[in-house]
Each structure stands twice: as structure tokens, then as C-alpha cells.
């Protein structure tokens, strides 16, 4: 089946630093989604990408849909303490609404 691998697995950064993480797939996706999960909560949808090459921003977050349709990256600029959490990429399986989730990137901000 489809697999989504995220890197890095975890990040420890200083407040104010920029963050970059990516997601790669063994197969093509037509949609890329980025979710954030905070402790004790369900994932919250941050950004949705629908076209190869698309670059979309949501505040300090920017994500791009790779040209090959097999990868996506998420950048966070000027990180703040509330950015802490686990970031998941996800995409619908071809032909249906079921989502495959990536392995996740855990972001920790060092005070």
C-alpha cells in the first residue's frame, strides 16, 4: 500500500528559528494535507494542497506540493512556543476518501 515517510522524525529548535520538514511517498498523490496534533488533542488541518507545484501559505506556515506529486514540504517561519506538536502529512488513497498518514515530525521548541 501507499506509504508516507516524514523527515526529520523530530526537531529541537530555538524560538524564532525557521522550521522545514518534508514528506515523501512511494506513489503519486493528488492531494496533500498537513495536520498538526497537540498533546491530548486530535489532528487539526493546517493546509491542503491540490495541484502539483502549488505553494500555499497559512500565516507563518508555507507548504508546497512537489512537481512529481510524490512529495511535499512544510515550512514554519519564526517559530513560537505554540508551534510545539506533531506534524503529519496525509493524502487520500487513490480513488477514495480514505487518508494515509505520514510517520510524523515532532517539533519541540527549546526555551
Interacting residues toward another protein by CB under 8 A? 31, 33, 35, 40-45, 48, 50, 88, 97-99, 101-104
| Smaller CB separation from another protein, 14 or 96 | 96
Q: How far is the CB of 20 from another protein (least distance, A)?
A: 20
Sign of torsion over alpha carbons 40, 41, 47, 51: positive
Q: How far is the CB of 38 from another protein (least distance, A)?
A: 10
| Smaller CB separation from another protein, 40 or 81 | 40
3-state SS class at 83:
helix
Q: What is the dihedral of CA 73, 20, 2, 46, to 10 degrees?
A: -70
**Cα-to-chain-centroid distance, residue 21:** 7
| Smaller CB separation from another protein, 14 or 58 | 58
Q: Name which of 69, 76, 67 is nearest 28 in CA terms.
A: 69
Q: How far is the CB of 45 from another protein (least distance, A)?
A: 6
Amino acid at each position: 500500500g501507499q506509504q508516507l515517510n516524514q523527515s526529520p522524525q523530530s526537531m529541537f529548535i530555538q524560538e524564532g528559528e525557521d522550521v522545514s520538514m518534508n514528506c515523501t511517498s512511494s506513489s503519486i498523490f493528488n492531494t496533500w494535507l498537513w495536520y498538526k496534533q497537540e498533546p491530548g488533542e486530535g489532528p487539526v488541518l493546517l493546509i491542503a494542497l491540490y495541484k502539483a507545484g502549488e505553494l500555499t501559505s497559512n500565516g507563518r506556515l508555507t507548504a508546497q506540493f512537489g512537481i512529481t506529486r510524490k512529495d511535499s514540504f512544510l515550512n514554519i517561519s519564526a517559530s513560537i512556543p505554540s508551534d510545539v506538536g506533531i506534524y503529519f502529512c496525509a493524502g487520500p488513497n487513490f480513488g477514495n476518501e480514505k487518508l494515509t498518514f505520514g510517520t510524523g515530525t515532532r517539533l519541540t521548541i527549546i526555551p
